[in-house]
Structure 1
Amino acid sequence: MASIEKVPMLAEGYEQLTANLKVLREERPRVVDAIEEARAHGDLSENAEYHAAKERQGQIEASIADLEDKISRAQIIDPTTLSGDRIVFGATITMLDDDDKPVTYQIVGQTEADAKKGRISYSSPLARALIGKRVGDDIEVTVPSGDRFYHVKKIEFI
């Protein structure tokens, strides 16, 4: 039997997924009503409201299925319970970049990633290069803009 791949995420990412699922489940009956109302207008072949509502229904159902799948496979990780001297999921890492400027990133789940907020997905090239490294290690990572070099200064679990 194949094992089900877990989806690591922080508690806030899990809460966001469940909130999104709730909103979609609340929207579902409204779309069904819109389809029924549009169907009542007659000829469906030229009924834009009907086709738009059916398309939205398909989007909602696909999104609900995706969210339910991620929630069912969620592995919630609390960084404050972690420790050690190696970079792992949930760690917050402060590094010096090519120009000796400090940059800080937290390694998070794919649904929580937001580079502008310093949160990078564990599957990103930078996070994959960082995982397993220690303070003092140098990292080289190839990104779309070219090769980048970092020096790990601090690892925190906050």
Structure 2
Amino acid sequence: MSIAFVREKEGGEAFEDLPDRPISPHTNYVTPEGLAQIEAEVKRLQAEAARTSHDDKADTARITRDLRYWTTRLGSAELVEKVEGEAVHFGSTVTVEREDEHGKSARQTFRIVGEDEADPAKGSISYVSPLARALTGKVVGDVVEVNGHEVELVAIAQPSRS
């Protein structure tokens, strides 16, 4: 049967059933920067909700859904400001060396952050990612295996906070 002949909900508002964004089952650790990002997103969505017409059901549904997500993430955020020690931990910036697809040595640097602030293209990975999990607790010179590949930890920079 063609979709053209299927009766829509009253008013044709299928977007009212917009599913919630999934919430991670992991502890919501955040860096100070990550907490600021979450707070900014809540404020931005609150402002967007205030200026959105209630007649615009699609935007209202999207904003409401996203605001629920970010408000929940803000409420569950556990700020990790500074961890002592020389080993890799949440907030560390690590440099690793591994072989690329051509067998040449390649170095990459990442900061280990919370799930919502992770952006590998910009140099940050989630603390629950396979690489971060393999490196946590390791020190310079340690070699770990991630997805069948060896990765050597060549540098660790701990966050500097006052």
1:113 is aligned with what amino acid?
A
Say which SS state the counterpart of residue 89 (structure 2) adopts.
Answer: coil
Contiguous gaps of at least 5 residues in structure 2: 1-24
Partner of 1:93: 94
1:5, 1:73 within 8 Å by CA — same for their partners in 2? no
Q: Deviations over 1:55-94 (max 9, x none)?
A: 211111111111111111111222xx32213211111111
**Partners of 1:28 and 1:103 in 2: CA distance:** 40
Partner of 2:5: none
The answer as to 2:110 corresponding to 1:105 is yes
2:157 is aligned with what amino acid?
E
**Partners of 2:97 and 2:26 in 1: CA distance:** 34
- 1:71 counterpart (68, 71, 74): 74
Q: Deviations over 1:9-65 (max 9, x none)?
A: 11111111111111111111322x351xxxxxxxxxxxxxxxxx2121111111111
Matches within 5 A, 1:9-158: 9-31=30-52, 33-35=53-55, 53-78=56-81, 81-98=82-99, 99-142=104-147, 147-158=148-159
**Partners of 2:97 and 2:131 in 1: CA distance:** 13
1:85, 1:134 within 8 Å by CA — same for their partners in 2? yes
Q: Deviations over 1:102-147 (max 9, x none)?
A: 22111101111111221101111111111122221111111xxxx3
**Partners of 1:15 and 1:28 in 2: CA distance:** 20
**Partners of 1:89 and 1:13 in 2: CA distance:** 12
- Give 1:148 shift: 2.6
Contiguous gaps of at least 5 residues in structure 1: 36-52
Aligned-pair RMSD on alpha carbons? 1.8
Identity of paired residues, percent?
33
Q: Which has the higher helix share?
A: 1
**Partners of 1:154 and 1:100 in 2: CA distance:** 15
Say which SS state the counterpart of residue 71 (structure 1) adopts.
Answer: helix
State the aligned residue count: 131
Partner of 2:20: none
TM-score scaled by length of structure 2: 0.73
